[in-house]
């Protein structure tokens, strides 16, 4: 599975949303499924799936799907 498909799957699973909802613009706190509690689940699943360890700023800055890709890119995950 390529990384784009993988990140889509993680968002779907962690937030309980449909694949078509996962666009780069999807933003934290704009849908009820992506609140602070869900964000923590999302972060844990991203870390597991991509085998990275994010730091506080990464977690707080991860406010859109696009941002998540940018942050993961810092850890050599290519999209």
Residues lying near another protein in the complex (CB under 8 A) are found at: 32-33, 35-40, 43-44, 54-57, 59-61
Closest CA to 28 of 72, 52, 51, 17: 17
Min dist CB 1 to another protein, Å, is: 24
Report CA-CA distances (Å) from 8 to 14, 56, 66.
Answer: 10, 22, 11
Length of the chain measured in residues: 79
Q: Pick the closer one to another protein by CB: 25 or 32.
A: 32
CB 49, min distance to another protein, A: 16
Residue closer to another protein by CB (options 61, 69) is: 61
């Amino acid at each position: 599975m390529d990384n784009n498909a993988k990140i889509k799957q993680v968002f779907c699973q962690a937030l309980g949303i449909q694949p078509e909802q996962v666009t780069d613009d999807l933003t934290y706190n704009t849908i009820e499924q992506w609140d602070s509690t869900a964000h923590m689940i999302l972060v844990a699943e991203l870390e597991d799936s991509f085998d990275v360890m994010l730091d506080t700023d990464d977690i707080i800055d991860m406010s859109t799907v696009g941002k998540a890709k940018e942050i993961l890119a810092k850890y050599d995950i290519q999209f």
